[in-house]
Amino acid sequence: MTRNKKLNDWVSWAAALCRPDEVVWIDGSNLEELREKALASGELVRLNQEKLPGCYLHRSAQNDVARSEGKTFICTESKVDAGPTNNWEKPETMYNRLTPLFDGSMKGRTMYVVPYCMGPIESPFAKLGVEITDSIYVVLNMCIMTRVSKDVIYALDYYANFVRGLHSTATLDENNRYICHFPEDLTIWSINSGYGGNALLGKKCFALRIASFQARREGWLAEHMLIIGIENPQGKTHYICAAFPSACGKTNLAMIVPPEVYTKAGYKVWCVGDDIAWLRIGRDGRLWAVNPENGYFGVVPGTSEITNPNGLQAMRTDTIFTNVVYNNDDGTVWWEGLDSNPPENGTDWTGQPWNGKTSHLKGAHPNSRFTAFAKNCPTISPEFDNPEGVPISAIVFGGRRAKTAPLVYQARDFEHGVFIGSIIASETTAAATGAVGVVRRDPMAMMPFCGYNMGDYFDHWIQMGKRLKKKAPLIFNVNWFRTDEEGRFLWPGFRENLRIVDWMIKRCEGSIDAVNTPIGYMPTPEDINSEDLDLSMAAAAELLTVNKELWKSEIEDIRAFYSKFNEHTPRELWSQLSMLEERLDEM
């Protein structure tokens, strides 16, 4: 209970609608009881507590393993405010459609009320939300992913504009699955899914979709970005943000261990956040970033001692694993890409017996995830809880492209950088339901997460640049995923990505030249530090080529894409597009 009448009234209203057996408020304490209840029902499996203290496994329903973009709606009074790239219905229509689905949906269950804070609680940028849910899995995840404490409940006493999230797993019926956002009412309704981005309402629903809507009105940015600090041997730290689409490398870059040549020289990389950044212009006129989250909901497959040792360390304690392999012999977990020693006596993500030595089927779901506390990453930044955030030197956009996009290039200026962000295209991944490996446009990696008209969103970015003027961060584009004729990755990736970040920092410091190409500034192969790097000169050259024909066909696609937003596409972007076309023609 709280002194906040608006909150109490809303909880009473939700209880009357969903009709649970009881209502329980969550303040982050007494979670042991909840875990016991979930163990008893089979919702959680306790893992080997000596090897993995505080760790549990959850298997989701098989029809509920990724975000459901087709079932995700932005419900604004006017369709144009949601724009052509969001599913839209009138608020009234969706409230009416979902009310009968919530009606009695929690009968025989407990309704949990989870007040939470996005951002360090004493930060002027922190925002409060309350999620009502009937899933213990969701409660336990929210207690890792967001800040949940008695202090949040006290803060809510005098806080009117909290985001109201109503969630029920109901019957997990896919045909009646809906994730609806009502940004004009600061409300989210989600039903018939228990999966991460569909159900942990603080994350994509609030911190990106609702927050981006608020950010435009209030003059800041809510972005799908990691935040890292790169400390040089002299102790100076540059912070950068990077936006890559889902399952395209944010968590891995956020937790990067520098290659040995850099570690030996005294470089360190600090993790501030791995998925979401809230960005504001500070009193000094620079751009500052806060990570609104408190944990990681990261992709598990591909995580190994070689690719992401810090990630592995973070998931050794107090972690919830979702949809990985259970090792029946020792109560630990396994997934594709961990090592070459899968359990022979295992249980796969669907709960079936699984022998990793003989089975041709994958044991872990490609979108299996771990939920771990931010503070458990060995390289968590000392600034993680800083209420003011960290100042940003560079913004990086990227995607998964077999061809077209080179390893790295730099925008000519901020406006050109907004253009580069707006033309990201990437192959789809298992993070959302639907086909995998299809190239689609994903501007700023925000296509599934922008809570308003993306044409207006582009304009908002341009306006931010005008306010930042000379203090704007430099903008870059990267592609770790370019392939050769046989479809093999040309770039080793993972920790070696720091070599590219290093080039960007040198650009920020003005200590290295670049080649002026039609698409932007690029390094020569020699500009990339190749000490101890296993990369042929031919591969390096290939990674840095710009193919005129591919780019010309890209122009056609961008033109069609921009046209979708009608007069909402900023003039500045149209003119950037024609300038690019002219430069390519002169190539």
Which residues are the active-site residues? 248
Quick count: other Cβ atoms within 10 Å of Cβ 126?
Answer: 18
Q: How many residues bind ligand GTP (CB under 6 A)?
A: 22
Instruction: Please return the burial class of 235, using the count of CB atoms within 10 Å of its CB with bins 0-12, 13-18 and 19+.
Output: exposed
What does the alpha-carbon distance between residue 418 and residue 538 come to, in Å, rounded to a whole number? Answer: 31
How far is the C-alpha of 326 from the C-alpha of 343, rounded, in Å?
A: 8
- The partner in contact with residue 249, picked from Mn ion, ligand SPV, ligand GTP, none with C-beta cut-offs of 5 to 8 angstroms by kind, is ligand GTP
Find the binder of ligand GTP among 123, 246, 291, 371 (CB under 6 A).
246
493 binds, among ligand SPV, Mn ion, ligand GTP, none (CB under 5 to 8 A by kind): ligand GTP
Q: Residue 73: which of ligand SPV, ligand GTP, Mn ion, none does it interact with, CB under 5 to 8 A by kind?
A: none
Contact 320, 135 (CB under 8 A): no
CB of 55 to ligand SPV, least distance (A): 19
**Which of 213, 239, 494, 503 contacts ligand GTP by CB under 6 A?**
494
Which of 307, 310, 347, 479 is in the footprint of ligand GTP by CB under 6 A? Answer: 307
Least Cβ distance, residue 66 to ligand SPV (angstroms): 7
Distant-in-sequence, close-in-space partners of 324: CB < 8 Å, separation ≥ 6: 57, 300, 333, 334, 335, 349, 363, 364, 365, 368
| Among 112, 206, 288, 297, interactor with ligand SPV by CB under 6 A | 297
Which residues lie closer than 8 Å to 412 by C-beta, 6 or more apart? 520, 521
Residues contacting residue 360 through CB under 8 Å, at least 6 positions apart: none
CA angle 76, 81, 85 (to 5 degrees): 100
Q: Would you say 223 or 572 has its CB closer to ligand GTP?
A: 223
How does DSSP assign 170-186, residue by residue? TT--GGG-EEEEEGGGT
Q: Which is nearer to ligand SPV, 58 or 67 (CB)?
A: 67
Q: What is the DSSP letter of 311?
A: H
Select 293 or 527, whichever has its Cβ closest to ligand GTP: 293
Of the pair 452, 481, the CB lying nearest ligand GTP is at 481
Judged by CB under 6 A, does residue 477 bind ligand GTP? no
Q: Does 298 help bind ligand GTP (rule: CB under 6 A)?
A: yes
Residue 196 interacts with which of ligand SPV, ligand GTP, Mn ion, none, CB < 5 to 8 Å by class? ligand SPV
Helices 5-18 and 91-102 cross at an angle (nearest 10°) of: 60
Among candidate residues 531, 307, 503, the one with its CA nearest the CA of residue 406: 503
Residue choice 81, 89, 134, 275 for contact with Mn ion (CB under 5 A): 275
Q: Which does 203 bind (CB under 5 to 8 A by kind): ligand SPV, Mn ion, ligand GTP, none?
A: ligand SPV
Whether the Cβ atoms of residue 362 and residue 354 lie closer than 8 Å to each other: no
Q: Which of residues 185-244 bind ligand SPV (CB under 6 A)?
A: 196-197, 203-204
Tell me which residue of 327, 317, 322, 435 sits closest to 372, measured CA to CA. Answer: 317
* Residues listed for the chain: 587
Interface pick for ligand GTP out of 244, 354, 476, 562 (rule CB under 6 A): 244
Helices (H) and strands (E) in the chain, counts: 16, 30
Q: Please identify, among the stretches 73-81, 172-180, 187-195, 301-309, the one whose residues bind ligand GTP according to the rule CB under 6 A.
A: 301-309
Q: How far is CA 443 from the centre of its chain?
A: 14
> Rule CB under 5 A: which of 217-256 touch Mn ion?
246
Considering the complex, state which of residue 109 and residue 204 has its C-beta at the smaller distance from Mn ion.
204
Using CB under 6 A as the binding rule, whether residue 71 contacts ligand SPV is answered as no
Give the interface with ligand SPV as residue ranges (CB under 6 A): 67, 196-197, 203-204, 246, 275, 297, 431
Give the interface with ligand GTP as residue ranges (CB under 6 A): 244, 246-252, 274-275, 298-299, 301-302, 307, 431, 480-481, 489, 493-494, 497
Give the interface with Mn ion as residue ranges (CB under 5 A): 246, 275
